Amino acid sequence: MLTRRGVGMALLMMTAAALLSPPEHARAASEHAEGARSFLQGLADRTIAVLNQKDLPPPKRIQTFRQLFADGFDVPTIGRFVAGRSWQRATEPQKTAYLQVFEDVTILTWALRFDQYAGERLEIDRVREDGKAVILESSIIRPGKGSIKVEWRIEKGKDGYKILDIIAEGTSLAIAQRADYSAVIQQSNGEFEGLIRALRDKREKLRQQAKLE
Selected range binding another protein among 29-37, 47-55, 96-104, 183-191, rule: CB under 8 A: 183-191
Q: Strand order of the sheet with strand 160-168?
A: 121-130, 133-142, 146-157, 160-168, 171-172
> Are 186 and 179 in contact, with CB atoms under 8 Å apart?
no
What x-and-dash track marks residues 8-47 binding another protein by CB under 8 A?
A: ----------------------------------------
The distance of closest approach from Cβ of residue 85 to another protein in the complex, given in angstroms and rounded to an integer, is 4
Q: Does 202 bind another protein (CB under 8 A)?
A: yes
Q: How far is 154 from 163, CA to CA, in rounded Å?
A: 5
- Which runs of consecutive H residues, i.e. helices, occur in 84-172? 92-114
Q: How far is 184 from 190, CA to CA, in rounded Å?
A: 8
> Are 72 and 163 in contact, with CB atoms under 8 Å apart?
yes
- Please state the φ and ψ torsions of residue 11, each to the nearest 5 degrees: -60, -45
Instruction: From residue 116, give the alpha-carbon distance in Å to each of 17, 86, 109, 112, 119.
Output: 45, 34, 12, 7, 9
Closest to another protein by CB, 122 or 198: 198
Q: Does 72 bind another protein (CB under 8 A)?
A: no
Q: Does 94 bind another protein (CB under 8 A)?
A: no
The distance of closest approach from Cβ of residue 77 to another protein in the complex, given in angstroms and rounded to an integer, is 5
Query: Which of 174, 191, 193, 207 touches another protein by CB under 8 A?
Result: 174
Instruction: From residue 86, give the alpha-carbon distance in Å to each of 106, 168, 171.
Output: 20, 26, 23
Selected range binding another protein among 35-43, 51-59, 60-68, 164-172, rule: CB under 8 A: 164-172
Closest to another protein by CB, 60 or 205: 205
Selected range binding another protein among 19-27, 48-56, 63-71, 163-171, rule: CB under 8 A: 163-171
State which H helix or E strand residue 37 sits in: helix 23-52
> Are 202 and 177 in contact, with CB atoms under 8 Å apart?
no
Q: Does 143 bind another protein (CB under 8 A)?
A: no
Q: What is the binding site for another protein (CB under 8 A)? A: 2-3, 6-7, 74, 77-78, 80-82, 84-89, 109, 112-113, 128, 130-133, 135, 146, 149, 153, 155, 157, 162, 164-165, 169-172, 174-187, 190, 198-199, 202, 209
